[in-house]
A and B are shown apart, each in its own frame.
Chain A
Amino acid sequence: MSAAPPKPQRPSSWTVRVREAGVAALPPEKLLPDGQPTYVASWIYVFGVASIASLVVIITSGSILALKGPAWWHYTGVGHFFNSIHMWSVELFFFVMVVHLWGKYWMAAWRGGRTKVWITGAVTFLVAVPTALTGYVSQQNFDAQWISTQAKDGLNSVGVGAFFNVTNFGQMYSYHVLLLPLAVVGLVTAHVLLVRTHGVVPPFELDKRAVALPAAAAKADGSTAAPAGGAQS
């Protein structure tokens, strides 16, 4: 009679535990899915990815400006061109993000346990505002002079001016190129991971309609019942 096979030992490594927890929460096929529910078929969905794309352009153009220093764009044509790209990508970022937020509001995209998805998105918008403001007051031109001397009163009135001085270029530049972008990127990452975890919010009255559809039905256009990563909660 042969002995029972030894039980596989659970590794005690912290690293393994973190990895296993990460993979369990968000397996690779869910993180990078190759299928989306068929209801994800509207132009409004473009504005989420457009927000991230704008952020990529902002960070890239901002990094180029940071590489050359804050004065570069004032005295070179190339620098001014990159500053223009940076400025317009910020305008695009806010525009697409606002459309994205309105779209998500009218979808009530917090339904089905997605409250944190909404909260991270809303906080991202609110943190993006001072990120842009610190950029405007770091420009070293008349706009920076005027905006900083105006903005100080609001911030001083609630005590924020005591530790966040908009007329201190050095402090504002640090906030603009490092601290606040780090916060925005962190929030966007959390937001996207939450979207991947919970999936895109289904339409209203989904329960009745989903049941009416045969789960295994496959369409001629290639849509399937559950592709890799498609099983979303």
Chain B
Amino acid sequence: MSRVGDLLHPKDDTQSWKGRYAHYDLVKEASIAVGVVTLLAILLAVLLSSPDDKPSTIAQWSREMPVNFTAAAAKELAGTSGTAGYGPPYNHNGEGQHAAFLYPQKWLGVSHPINTANDFVIDPLKTVPNDPALASAISQYQAAPEKTQKAWGEAYAKPLEEYETALEEKKTPPKAVGLDPSTGAVTVQASGAGPIPTMMSGLLALAKSGGLDGSLLTSKQFFQTDYTKPLLFMADGGLLAERAEGQHLLGGQWGMMNETGSYPGQPWLWLYALWYQVEPFKSSANADILVMLVMGVLSLAFICIPLIPGINALPRKIPIYKLIWKEHYRETRSSA
């Protein structure tokens, strides 16, 4: 058979071992291995510990970055935030990602419904007691036609966006947005914003008190373990990303395979994270599905290595096995 033929269709001439056996204590070896790994893990735990950076809260976000919080909340109300336009599994406002004719995100549908205006803004505001002005503002907003709501939302969001952009570009922020450093109150001079300034002030006050954290978590029942709403709301803002950037956790910094501090994180995700660093994935709007499909194909190939021509013949061609079975071959040569 030719060299190429050898590579594509390796002959499996492996036979049962008919040679000698050495004494071997399986249980003893396993016990020693458990002991050694235990000691190693204890040693690493004592010397290096493990990371445990406190989680962020919406209260913390609204106190430390009140303008950023207000801008994000305004987008949630106007339906222009990342979550609002995400599509499945949260809402029908987008198709989600796709690859060629594959639309799995759309096909699987909305399983965790989120209406950002109602769930993140209006419903929590309705829990605020004894505030007639706020109650009136909510009623006015809900009674208005959708077109008017949109116009109010855009009028309010525009100066906030300009403020955020100026901060990012390290320029002097516009005076239309005011921040009182002593109280953390945010004032937005926006004509034509209707009741939104009152609603946003109310939401900021609720968030600072910690009430919004609880309000987003509590829905149908007393005991809650689903943090989808508060996490998505926070992810639409800047606090998580700011902390992540400081810890080298952003997508362009090899993302979630890293961990806070100098801990190893999940290095086994290196190949998954790698694709996000290179084109065409890096700049694609469908990067997630493309990377997942590539990893799916590679994972299947990994499982099927024994059956893949060429890949299954390489071990025979590259004689690393001679290193592994060095003793065996040496012994065999001396016996022959």
A175: interface (CB < 8 Å): no
Binds B, one of A14-22, A178-186, A205-213: A205-213
* Residues from chain B with Cβ under 8 Å of A87 in the complex: 45, 50, 263
B96: interface (CB < 8 Å): yes
- Size of the B side of the interface (Cβ < 8 Å), in residues, is 104
The total of Cβ contacts below 8 Å across the A-B interface reads 319
A39 pairs with B328, CB closer than 8 A:
yes
A89 pairs with B37, CB closer than 8 A:
yes
- Chain A nearest Cβ from B317, distance in angstroms: 10
* Residues from chain B with Cβ under 8 Å of A150 in the complex: 249, 251, 255-256
- Size of the A side of the interface (Cβ < 8 Å), in residues, is 111
* Residues from chain B with Cβ under 8 Å of A50 in the complex: 33, 36-37
Pick from B42, B256, B268, B318: contact of A151, CB under 8 Å: B256
B41: interface (CB < 8 Å): yes
> Of all chain B residues, which has the CB nearest A150?
B256
Pick from A52, A119, A207, A212: contact of B13, CB under 8 Å: A207
B176: interface (CB < 8 Å): no
Q: Interface on chain B toward A: helix, strand, loop, or mixed SS?
A: helix
A143 pairs with B260, CB closer than 8 A:
yes
* Residues from chain A with Cβ under 8 Å of B251 in the complex: 150
A103 pairs with B324, CB closer than 8 A:
yes
B14: interface (CB < 8 Å): yes
B168: interface (CB < 8 Å): no
CB within 8 Å of A: which residues of B? 12-27, 29-30, 33-34, 36-38, 40-42, 44-46, 48-56, 86, 88-89, 96-97, 104-105, 107-109, 111-112, 225-228, 231-232, 234-235, 240, 243-244, 249, 251, 255-256, 259-260, 263-264, 266-269, 272, 286, 288-289, 291-293, 296, 299, 302-307, 312, 315-316, 318, 320-321, 324-329, 331-332, 335-336
* A-B contacts, 15 listed (Cβ < 8 Å): A38-B19, A38-B328, A42-B325, A50-B36, A52-B33, A56-B37, A57-B34, A57-B38, A84-B50, A85-B42, A105-B315, A141-B54, A147-B256, A156-B96, A163-B111
Known: A39-B19, A157-B105, A159-B107. 8 other contacts (CB 8 A): A37-B21, A44-B324, A88-B40, A105-B315, A119-B306, A123-B303, A141-B52, A211-B18
